[in-house]
Amino acid sequence: MPPSEYLRPQKFCAAGRDEEFVAHVVDAFGDDNLVTTTDYPHGDFEIPKRDGSVPHPALPDRSKQKILQNNALRLYAL
């Protein structure tokens, strides 16, 4: 089995909301085990702008929904 197959059933990876590589990760590994991160409550945390922009603009809406919500719900069994 290739190394990527070992990760899929048991590991999650996290990416920041402005990381440019996320689309490449989704292309290579899929969007099933990817979640987004924040720096909250660290002092350098920036509150996201309320301008309607969505993190990871290069991704399809289906992937955004999974990365920003569905995968975290599954990861934390919520």
CB 25 within 8 Å of CB 13: yes
Task: Please give the chain's pLDDT, 78 residues, in tens.
Answer: 887 677 677 788 888 766 778 888 888 888 998 998 776 666 666 666 655 555 666 788 899 889 888 999 999 898
Query: What pLDDT score does 62 carry?
Result: 92
Tokens encoding 24: 């490449």
Helix (H, G, I), strand (E, B) or coil at 15: strand
Structural domain spans, the chain: 3-42+57-75
CB atoms under 10 Å from CB of 31, counted, come to 20
Query: What pLDDT score does 53 carry?
Result: 55
